[in-house]
Structure 1
Amino acid sequence: MSRPGRCIDNGPMEGVCGTIKSELFRGKKHDIFDNKSLAIETIDSYIEFFNKDRITLKMATLIS
């Protein structure tokens, strides 16, 4: 992480947040969670999936 006031770290983080929004919430209503704890649990489980199980182009090229 860079120093405060530097925007160098913002781009990658915005990319991850955009991917989560597009893959997790696409086609769903905005009020899909009954409470905050359910939202946190769902997003945490997706981040776990994103980091460990999600197939990426980089991994696909290593497999083939």
Structure 2
Amino acid sequence: HPLIHSDRGFQYTSRAFKRKLDTAELTQSMSRVGRCIDNGPMESFFGTLKCEKYYLHKYKTFEELSTAINEYIHFYNYEGYQKR
């Protein structure tokens, strides 16, 4: 099953959210208690995504936004400059 990783915010630990994950056949992963650094790379990526893509354009439909995000993920992974 695909994996969804989050922090331990109340919205991610609720029974309702767990049921939605089960329905969608997603496996849940959460950062350790008191270890916000566990999700640091993804927090950094989402900050970059928002600054370089999301805030620079108004999307008229969800599909348009979804396409833009998928294109950006491809760019980020295969073409963008990344410090390693």
Name the CA shift for 1:5/1:24 in 2 (closer, same or farther; >3 Å): closer
4-13 or 33-42: bigger deviation = 4-13
Partner Cα separation in structure 1 for residue 82 and residue 31 of structure 2: 32
SS in 2 for 1:9: helix
User: Structure 1: where are the runs of 5+ without partners?
Assistant: 59-64
1:12 aligned residue = 41
C-alpha RMSD of matched pairs (Å):
2.4
TM-score by length of 2: 0.51
CA apart distance, 1:54: 0.8
Report runs of 4+ in structure 1 exceeding 4 Å deviation: none
Identity of aligned residues (%): 33
| TM-score normalised according to structure 1 size | 0.65
1:49 alignment partner AA: F
User: Gapped runs of 5+ residues in structure 2?
Assistant: 6-28
* Number of residue equivalences: 54
